Every structure is written in structure tokens, then in C-alpha cells.
Amino acid sequence: MKIIDYFDLILKILLLILGILIIIWTLQLLLGGSPGLAEYNFALILLIAGLFIQLFREVGVMKNEMEHNFSNIKHSFINIKEDMNSIKSKLKIKEL
């Protein structure tokens, strides 16, 4: 596995743990429980920041894949053009 894969795995685990913690703390707060609002807000801010990091990472990966796909499409059209010119030259067809 690459380092980025480990980072992604660790980030997902942390986000899952924070999400569960926030759900538990929300229930405790609604039922008159123990966590202070400072801890709750800090965990909520960390969860939102983690989600943004995950989102931006996914957008970056998607952008990189799209650039790679567009490059492949461009090369495919160039290859098709070369093949068409080769067929025209073999058949001795003049262009209009």
C-alpha cells in the first residue's frame, strides 16, 4: 500500500470514531449528560475539518484521473487520425 492509502485509511477511521463520539455526546447532552460544550464543539470542528480534508483529497484524485483520461482520449484521436491517413495513402484516396 502507498502512504496515501494509509493516510486515507487512518483519516476514515478517525472520522468514524469522531462521528460515533459526537453521536454519543449529542445523546448525552440531550439527556442531561456529561460532556462540556467546549469538548463537543472541538470534536465537531475536528469532524468537519476531517470531512473537508477527505473531500478535497477525493476531488484532487478525481481531477488527476480526469486529466489522465483526457490525455488518453487525445492520444486516441491522434492515433485514429494517423490510421485514417495510413488507410487513405494505401488506397490512394485524395483529400477533398
pLDDT per residue as tens digits for the range 73-93? 988 989 998 988 888 888 877
Q: pLDDT tens for residues 11-47? A: 899 999 999 988 988 888 888 877 788 888 888 899 9
pTM confidence score: 0.65
Q: DSSP string covering the chain, please?
A: --HHHHHHHHHHHHHHHHHHHHHHHHHHHHTT-S--HHHHHHHHHHHHHHHHHHHHHHHHHHHHHHHHHHHHHHHHHHHHHHHHHHHHHHHTPPP-
Residue-range domain boundaries for the chain = 3-91
